[in-house]
Chains A and B, each alone.
Chain A
Amino acid sequence: MLKATMRWIDGLNVPATALVRFFIGGLFIWMGWNKVLDPVGFLKQVHLYDTLPVTPGIYLNATAIVLPWLEIVCGVALILGVFLRGSALAIAVMLAFFTPAIFLRAWGIHTTEGTPFMEVAFDCGCGTGEVIIWQKLLKNTGLLLLTLLILFSRSPRWCLSGLFTGAQRCDDAMPAGAPTSEGA
């Protein structure tokens, strides 16, 4: 099943994965930059999730300081095609962590305040302001699937490395042992 899916992705002769990379990379740069512009606001949002201890402060503060830049760095790497699979994995891990956290916080509001789940809305700290949560969860799931598509695609195109090596595919510029079905 996995091999078949990867063959299908690989068979997409159009640079579909490259377009997805640019979209997700740009989105993460934008969302990360919005957080960088308001570090205190983002710190408060992280605190509201109530998942990290308030003392010592290093956990919350380090998250608020580093996470926006991690999103930006991964977004840039994804667009440039540098450390392509590493950045895709990092973004997938972030999405896989954020999405359940957002769901749990929304579910908490739903159960404690009696707000219908489909009407729960708050600023999730995602860098996009207040959002309707079920829509955000749907979007995040879509982004996760697209990121996995990048992660598992075997021959992505349009990478910065290709500019220097003349390689048509990102993996051509890499040492032997390019990602296979066992990869990523």
Chain B
Amino acid sequence: MGAVKRTVIEMVVLGVASIAVAATANTVRPKGALSWTKAYFAPRVVPPTGPVEPVTGKVPTPPENGGKAAPSKTEPPSGKKHFEHPYQTASLDLVIDVVNSDGYLDGQFVLVDARAEDVYADGHIEGAIRCFHYELEVCFDRVVEAANGAEKVIVYCNGGNCDDSLFMCQELELKGVATEAIYLFEGGWKEWVAQEMPFVTGSEE
């Protein structure tokens, strides 16, 4: 057998062995297993031409439980650009406004935390529904149910160049939630804690 042929065969054997090991490991791993076939990412949505309509939030009010007054709209703390997207952007002011409104409890406004379970448990905005983009099967129905008919659905993740919130927005849009109702809180969790806003800990019940 020629050396070239033997080398290629060796490489193929290693490839097959890797697939077998990977499949086994992915099946038996207790956490973080990926589906082989599920499309985790929605197709990239082409941003609309022209300016996005400004968000018309109410005048922000500081939280009652000792948090600092809300600052004006800020760039994501990381300084990195978020992906281009067709959704309206929620400023920190708007999120504060929503969280403090009566409509938040009544389902008029919905906040979605698109981060993983462990970081959600470490701290999240009170009342936010947790749904990690990679575990849609366990939480997405609840999010869609809450989002349908809501006036504003604000989605956040870690902030900066975190894209889990964007993927969640795309999934919501694909499920029929009106694009105009979907807001992306780009500053996300980083901005929320950077401004020393109040949060709660623990998993969802």
**A-to-B contact residues, CB < 8 Å:** 36, 38-40, 43-44, 47, 54-58, 60-62, 64-66, 68-70, 72-74, 77, 83-87, 89-90, 93, 113, 151, 174-175, 177-180, 182-184
Contacts and interface: CB of A to CB of B under 8 A. Distances in A.
Given A87-B11, A89-B11, A65 B2 contact: no
B174 to A, nearest CB: 11
30 contacts: A39-B34, A43-B134, A44-B163, A47-B41, A54-B44, A55-B43, A57-B35, A57-B36, A57-B37, A57-B39, A58-B36, A60-B41, A61-B37, A65-B26, A66-B22, A70-B18, A72-B21, A73-B17, A84-B10, A85-B6, A85-B7, A86-B7, A86-B14, A87-B10, A89-B10, A90-B11, A93-B11, A175-B1, A183-B3, A183-B4
Contacts of B36: 57-58, 61-62, 65
A68 to B, nearest CB: 7
A124 B37 CA distance: 24
A57 B2 contact: no
B13 interface: yes
A40 B32 contact: yes
B32 A86 contact: no
B3 A184 contact: yes
Contacts of B44: 54
Interface in B17-40: 17-19, 21-23, 25-26, 32-40
B39 A40 contact: no
A89 to B, nearest CB: 5
B43 A89 contact: no
Contacts of A39: 26, 32-34
Contacts of A61: 34-38, 40
